[in-house]
Each structure stands twice: as structure tokens, then as C-alpha cells.
Structure 1
Amino acid sequence: MQRIISIKDGVTRMPSWRMAEPVNFELCDGEHIAIIGPNGGGKSMFTDIITGSHPIIGNGIEYDFSPSDKTLVSDNIKYIAFKDSYGDKDGTYYLQQRWNQHDISEDTPTAGDLLEEAFLLTGDDTAERRELQNHLYSVFHIEHTLDKYIILLSSGELRKFQLIKTLLSKPRVLIMDNPFIGLDAETRDQLQHLLTTVANDSKLQIILILSRPKDIPPFITHVVEVRNMKVGKKITTEEYRSAMTSSDLQPQFNREKEERILNLTYNDNTTEGNEVIGMTDICIRYGKRTIIDHFTWNVMKGEHWAVSGRNGAGKSTLLSLVCADNPQAYACNISLFGRKRGTGESIWDIKRRIGYVSPEMHRAYNRDIPAIMVVASGLKDSVGLYTQPNETERHTCRKWMDVFGIEKLADRTFLKLSSGEQRLVLLARAFVKNPELLILDEPFHGLDEPNRLMVTEIIEAFCKHSGKTLIMVSHYPEELPPCIDHKLTLTRTD
């Protein structure tokens, strides 16, 4: 059987890139593999070895990409990393940029421009390839986004964009890190169907890096578990499912932790009256595109809202109005915490009362500072930290990091953490100041099942007895904590 990728007793040249033991791995023709493991277990490090990003000692890795006529590893193996779900890694991106259209240069490309450029760079302009291009556009329902600036795409739309851009190049091996995150239920089903079709009908081997066993699609033939920086033996999907036990899915939570959360949480609400958010007849437009149309919404103190809707329906835009990140809020009839916007309050008056995490924040957080400083930045409402926390603030940060099970990561720098560990750090950042209003936009991105269950318990404990107000966005109804008592579903206006 053809061995497309073969690694035997692989040890990386750089000690800082090494796994806990030598790596042995084979990807054979006809196999489609899921790499499974806990957050921080070594999945991303292992993937970097497979792609050649972390060279190994000796003969290196043996590749056989036939029948592909491409010679470079980079042309035959395409890797969509977790961070790509929020767009290209652009160091100039800042948190509010998506909402500040006046800051977007006229030279900024549209999604359609970039996809057409990718199409022309990755092959000849043939009728067959145009048919593939149009098929991908249709399957992902992205025709309505082709004229949008790339910077204005939602996180789910960006995920679709990255997948299409990669599939247009027709690689021999496609590696995707958590491909279903950020996608609504219909698009997840469409993607799974598309990958199944591609896996069965073409010379493309697929490797999925997954945080949850339940996300393994039916077309996956084998599973490799990576845990404690060790690469396990490749086994069939059936063998893996048979070996799973219910203990693999237990949350890392107990009554003692709930007591710690309650001790860190107190009701310091100074809202005038009971209304936290008041919106009347809101309209948000960018050029000729209407995102939110004649929308009215009231959120009262102590309510716990779940916000849902398809990709591009305006969920993140709505939250940007609440978090004081969108300048169009000044032209709208909006009241926050009992005060009408535009009556002399600063954005910092608003932000100090809100704990917030979102895909946009994860994308914008490119500061490689110690994790405890990232958590401490939540006390200052900044992306990055420009003043040193005092001892009391450090103590509070460590307590919240302990609640999220990441106190041991306090001194490690943010960009050296796995994507799941980064998300836990950003969640601790959202809770650290005991906010009146907690806004969690897709909070579980990249988390393994035990950590998802743990975070759900933390949200529930935080909201249950404190009179806190919660707004949570998720494409997975089963992720919602029991405290949810109100639901809002947005629909696309186009």
C-alpha cells in the first residue's frame, strides 16, 4: 500500500519542538485520519512535524504524493490551522476594525477577489476547474459574501472562505484543525457531506484535528490519539469508539470549585432600574448591505439569553453595539445599564461592566505576553496590558485561572499555548473583574469535551446566585447552560 507520509522514530532537531517520545506515524492511500486529544496534549506540535514545519533528525520524513505531479511538500499538504478560522494572520488587525469601516482602505480586497486570485494561482483556468469553483460557492452559500471586504466577514464566513480557498488548490493531503467550529448546523452538515464526497471520489487524503470524539465524521477510517505529548498508535475508528469510556467525558468540576466561584462573585450592580440593554428600531448598514434591520430588544437585569442564527445573520454585529466597539451605536436608539448612548459616557464606562470573549478577540490577541497578564488585561479592558497589575489583582487572576484549571500556565506566554489553552485564558479574562454583564460569543471554540463541560458548569455557577446578566452565542444548542431563560434567533436580511 502506498505510504503517502511515513515517520519512523522521528525526533525534531529543535529540543523545544520535541514530543515526549519519538514519533511513529504513517498515512496510507485511502486512509482518512482524525487526530484526537485533550487541549495542550500536543496535537498542533504533531501536525507541525507532519507538515515539515518542525524538521526532524536524520532522514526526515518520507513523502510519496503520487499521482500528484507537484513536487513541493507545501503544494501537496495544505493545513488550515485554528487561527485561520478568524481570517489571515494579519498583525495590523485590531479588535474594533471590523466595525470601523472608515478605517478600511479602498484597496482592501473582497472575498471574491481573493478567491479568484487563489483560483488562478493554483491551476489552469479550465471549464472543469470553474465548475469546481462554482460548486464550492454553491455548497457553502457564499455568493452573497463575494462582494464583501474580507475584513467584514463573520468568523463563520471566514471559515467557509478559508476552506474554499484551500480546496481550490486540490492538495494531495488536506489537514484541518477543528473544521466545524464557527459554522451553523446547516453548514456543518454541508461541509461533512462535501468532505465525504471529496474523500470518496478523489485522490485526497484528509486529516482532521478534533477536540471532541463526537465530531469524528463517518468517512474517517482511522484515529490517532495524542496525549501528554505522545503520539499513540493508529487504530481504526471502530476500535477507537469501542475503547472510549464515559470517564473520558467527565467534567473537571466539583462542589468545592463552585464554592470558589461563589466566593469570587458578588452582586455589585449599579444599573439604574432593571434594564441592562434597551434597543429600539435599530438599523445597521455597511454601504448597500443591511446587517440589522428595524430591530428592537430589551434585556433585563438577571436574565440569561441565548442568541443564535446562521453565519452572517448579525450576531457579532449586535454584540459589538453592546460592547461599545461599533461606532454606529451613536446613531441608534440604544441604552446600556440605564443610560442612553451618546449622553456623555465613555466606552470605558461601558466596558468596565462587561466581561467579553469572542472570535474577534481571539484573533486580535497577538501579544505574546504571560498568560496571567492576558487575564489581568480583563481588569483594564485592554487587548494587551500596559500597566502592571498589583499584588491583589495578581491574586485574583490566579484564583480565576485556578477555577479554569490553567493556573500552571500563568507564566507561559500566550502564543506558545495551544488554541484550547488560549481560549481558557481568554475566558478567565472575561470573568476576572466579576462583570455585571457576561457576553460569551462562541466561548467553546477549540475546547475538548471535558473542558466544554467544565466551562458550562462555571458559567452556570457564576450566573445562578449572583443576579448576573448573560448573553451567550452558540451554534450548538446542547452547549447552552441550564440557566438560559431567554432565546433570540437572528435571520439574515439578504
Structure 2
Amino acid sequence: MKQVKIIQAEFLLQQKNRLKIPHFQIRQGDFWVVVGSNGSGKTAFSLAIEGKIPVYSGEYENSFQHIQQFSFEKQQKILEQTFRERNNDSVSPDDFGKTARETILNGSRNEALCDQYAELLGITSLLDRPFMHLSTGESRKILLAQTLVQQPDLLILDEPFEGLDQKSVQDWQQLLERLAQQTSLLLIVNRFNDIPTAAKQIALLDHCEVILQGNRAEIEQQSIFQQLQYAENAMDVPLPECTEPTQKLAPNTPHFELEKVTIQYADKVILDQLTWRVLPQQHWWIKGPNGAGKSTLLSILTGDHPQSYSNIVRLFGRQRGSGETIWEIKSKMGYISSQLHMDYRVNCSVLDVIISGFFDSIGVYQRVPDALRVKAMQWLERINLAPLAKKPFRSLSWGQQRLLLITRAMVKYPPVLILDEPLQGLDGLNRRLVKSFIDQLVKHSGTQLLFVSHQDQDAPQCITHIFEFVPKENGYQYVQTAV
């Protein structure tokens, strides 16, 4: 039987990056769908299946004889070539270039096969029209027919729905169902909603690694898959309304302002002449290697570091030590870290974890008004965990727990949310889930995000500025850039 089989393989990409495929097998008659967001490595994956990028380690076997790829990029190149051929003084204004039939045949003489696929794709009436006069959806079907006339035994379709309206996408999904009866298919999309009902197998790609794959019926039963599918559809769903008026900060006052801050212990300098201003509505990614000083910087921002008093440190417009209490500072912040998660040992119910956020407590030790219980359930519904409300917190997966703790920090809509390595300890699936929720929080609230991570792939899309600890000969320099 024809197949592509990959076992524990890494494929070498540009700039020493690698595509990781623990195992993958597509056989004759299969219809696979690979889902991956922008930058996940979808194009590299399709090239790896074709055998067009080098195998760094592991096993790659291919017994298909004629793999063909169809992509949005391929369509763009052909359209550009058609335009160049027309944009020529020697071409008559009445000459509109190749017809759709000539484009499909592309030098071949197999008219019968052209007519066969034109009928299958529903484009017979377009064959004698100039290719350049066709719509985006029509020209894409013509180019797919061109690919099919070459009689592939494995057809890879990379983002064929890109740029099409909803009706065209539905037509294409029905078309792929018919194609799946004739050839092996590998469809690559960036949305769960684009998975055709006829697909038999599903894989999930994230940051150049296959993180989930298998039989569709089994994959769709996994709670993490359902959670990710929900997250995609919930991107534009508003958050529950706040139970009380949110804190309003001065609109033009920097939330954090540090001037030439130096923190040291004996002869060891941790921060050296650090100057940094964080304005409202800026979402910062704080990055740098372990030991650079990220945790020390956070302890200054949260008001915990004792050496703040001997430096110029203004938090929410007030010099540290000018009379404000530590609780006044912390009331303006939500804070979550992987360490806090590790230390969260109270095994209360999932619902009580959310409720505790309203009381700034670990666990619930007082009578809870019915209105707060209703509000907490609204938050659980928003993150698709309402069915687990009565479950013990520690019975949830690690990713669900992290999602719950971030939600707990947001229920009072703090002006600032600090997430310190929020993806640490999570696998690829749960990293994707938590990142998606962080973007949703920022999109639907006025809360400012400070996101700390030393992993380049961790940053959510909402980031507007980067603060980076860059190593130099004696310590670090502090590089601040707008995204």
C-alpha cells in the first residue's frame, strides 16, 4: 500500500529551526486535515510530506509516486505570470491570454481528462473563457483541475479556502468530499471550522511541531480538542460584566516609571541603571534569559522589593514610599505565575476557585452572595468549564488549572494583569489554549498586560512592546522596542 510514514523525525528549516514530527502516517485512501495557525509551520509540514526538505534525524519513507501540492501561493504566482504576459506591447488589446482549458492542460493533450475534472469541479461552462477574467474562486478551481490532470496519487491542498467567501468555502468542502473518493488527500487549514465533514483523520500543528493527531472520532472526543475548538469560536465573545465599578487610573499617567534603578546585594548588581516607562494601553512582553533580573523587576512593579524605596520608582503615579500601602498597589493588579500555580494547594471546587478571586483569597471561607455565584458561573461558561464547576480543582488537567487561575485573577478587571511564565510546564496543546485566552482577555477588557517569558514562541498576539534583557560583557542592557 502506498504511504508516507514518518517516525521521530526532525526536518531542518531555515536559520537552524526544525520541524518536529513524532509520528505521522498517511496511506492510500486517507483524508487527513492538518490544522495550524499562522506561523505554525504548515507550509514546512507539506514540504516535509513531499520529501522536499532535509531530514535532520528520524525516519521518512514515501511510496507515493506522484505527490502534487496545490496552494494559495501557487495561484498567486500563476496570476502574476499571466499579468506579466499580458503587460507587453506586442500583445493585442483583444488578446486576453490563455483560456481556462489551456491553463488546465498546461501543454498536455489529455482533453478527455480535462473534461472529466471540469465536470467533477463544476467548471465546464468556464473552459472557453479567458483565465484572467475569472473570479478568485473560479480561477482556483481551474488551477486545481490543472493539478488533477497531472494525476497525483497524493494531493496536498495548502489553505485552499484562503480568501474565499463562506458559500465558496462550503462548495469547496463538498468538492473535497468527492475528490477523497478518487485520491489520497492532505488538507492544511488554519481554522477548526474549515475541517470538512468527510475528513477521516485530524492533526494539530503548533510552532513547527505536530502536537496532536489521530482518528477524527477519537480526537474530537478529547476535552483539550473541544476546548481549543471553543476558544477559536469565542474570540469575539465578550467577557462577563464586572460586579462592581472597575478602578480607573489617570489616563495619561505612566502606570510604572523607573529612573536609573539599581538593585544590588553586596558586590552583585542585579539591575544596573534601569530606566523604563510603561504607559496605559501598552502590552509589554518582558523577555530575557534565566538569571537576567526578570523576577527582580517584577518584585519592583508589584511593590514587594525593599530597595524600591532607595530608587526612583513610581507605581501608578506615586513614588514608592510616599504613603501608599502594599495593598493599595496590589489592588490594581492581577498576578499569576507558574510558581503560584505550584503553590495553589487548596483543593476546593472549580467554582470556588473563581469565587475566591472576588475576595482575594486562596479558597472560600465566608458566605457567598448568590449574585457572585451567578457571576462566577458566567466566567466558567466563558472559558467552557461550566460542566466541571463542582469538580475538585486538582482533578483538572494542568492546562485547565492554569486557565482557571488566570480567570480568577481577572474577575475584578484589574487595571494591570501580570503573567509570569504563564505557559511554563504546559504541553503544546495547553500552551495554545492559554495563549488564545490571554488574547481574548486583552481584546475584551481595559486591562493592561505585562507578559513574562524567555521563550520566543510564547508571546500572545496582543503584545505592543518588548522589554528585553540582552547580555553584554558585564551584565545586561535593557532594550525596549515597539512591536
Say which structure is richer in strand. Answer: 2
Which structure ranks higher in relative contact order (CA pairs < 8 Å, sequence separation ≥ 6)? 1
Larger Rg: 2
